Structure 1
Amino acid sequence: VLAAGSSSYSGEYGGSSGEHFDQSRNQLDGPITALRIQANNKYILSIQVRYGGLWSRIEGNPSGSQSVMPLFPGEGIVQVLGRFGSFVEYIAFRTNLGRVFDYGAGSGLGVPFDAEPLFPNTVLRYISGRSGPLVSAVGFHWDKEEGIGGWDQSTGSPHTKNNSP
């Protein structure tokens, strides 16, 4: 259930190739509990999200080095940084517990992005975007999630190193 005045959207970051995907229905399976990212030294090859205990469809190409990012109970994603050109080159997820998970090319010429929710105490609920042989583009949908605390707007942006007042 989405709370009034708490949902926001960041994106879409990336190119226009590939087929559109939208995981809005997946959020009905529960909060995001893990991500599975496959990347090489140039691009994000694929992304898969676990909602509750169920994995979403793999978006992109499931080859390459795979990394699983499990979240702790009560942990949510509060910021996503990245870089893109025609495809997503780099992506980093920051949680409300301060953990950061990054994937893809550490340097490049792509356009940087910084996605974060508009409202305090909200977290990443689901993703959308475009995919084909690679992840072409990605967007982030934020809202409240019962039992998961987001960042507190009174202490500044989620990318502030120390969120204490």
Structure 2
Amino acid sequence: MAHASLLWQLTGDCPTMTTINKTTCVIGIAQNDDPVSMCCHTFCQLCSQQCGTGLFSKSIGGGRGISFASNMTGPITGVKVWEHYDYEGCISRIHCIGGIQFRYDTEWSDVTGRTHGMTQEIELFDEEFIIQLSGRYDDERIYLLIFVTSRGRSLIAGTTNGDAFNFYPVHPDSELQMLGGHYNGTCITSLAAHWGLPYDDNNK
């Protein structure tokens, strides 16, 4: 999707902010207070329909495969995650996170990745938001995802291999609005999160 109003202000090799229809989207600070080090061009373009004064969490994972970004209107009201399994004879084990799907308001998005394996799902209550996303990963795949809501509930999917990551917004009243990254046909291979103030009809 092309957006003629998307303008880049560059510092070195990567954009430090995007200006979209006179609204500024700051590319944020990771949990360790280091500046974001990875350009996320496609993700920022798709963000142009929704982002206000939100922040991007630092991208994690190797980033191999096809890029994606959730790109629908409204607040996130549900999440589904598919755990992809390996089978050796009669023994099965979780191999990676194979697919992700979001519900925005009342409509489910297209599935990113595969829908094979065990499904983990959470439906959010009214005025409940996703305020943290953590998990585990390596350069090849995302192993574990933990979505935490403003009511203290969580969706946990995957296995405990790999290195830990933790995404959360800098602004205390922000919520998860978009998720982007890559998948290779079997596994989700990278992720980045966009946070913003709670969605309302004025954002349409």
Cα separation, 1, equivalents of 2:58 and 2:154: 20
Partners of 2:59 and 2:199 in 1: how far apart?
A: 26
**Aligned residue for 2:174?**
122
Q: Which runs of 4+ in 1 moved over 2 A?
A: none
- CA distance in structure 2 between the aligned counterparts of 1:146 and 1:136, rounded to whole angstroms: 28
* 1:88 alignment partner in structure 2: 142
User: Which aligned pairs between 1:4-83 and structure 2 lie closer than 5 A?
Assistant: 6-23=53-70, 25-26=71-72, 28=73, 30-39=74-83, 40=85, 41-83=94-136
Q: Which has the higher contact order (CA 8 A, sep 6+)?
A: 1
Secondary structure of 2:57's partner? Answer: strand
Structure 2 unaligned blocks of 5 or more: 1-49, 86-93
Identity across aligned pairs (percent)? 27
Residues in 2 aligned to 1:2 and 1:47: alpha-carbon distance in whole angstroms: 21
What letter corresponds to residue 127 of structure 1 in structure 2? L
Say if 2:147 and 2:156, in contact at 8 Å, map to a contact too. yes
User: How far apart, CA to CA, are the structure 2 residues paired with 1:20 and 1:99?
Assistant: 29
**Equivalent residue pairs, number:** 140
SS at match of 1:42: strand
Q: What letter matches 1:59 in structure 2?
A: T
Q: What's the Cα RMSD here?
A: 1.5
Provide TM-score, normalisation by structure 2: 0.65
For 2:181, the aligned partner's letter is G
Distance in 1, Cα, partners of 2:194 & 2:120: 22
Q: Distance in 2 between matches of 1:145 and 1:130?
A: 26
Q: Paired residue for 1:102? A: 156
Separation of aligned partners in 1, 2:67 and 2:127: 30
Deviates most, 69-78 or 8-17 = 8-17
Q: Please name the residue that 2:26 is paired with.
A: none
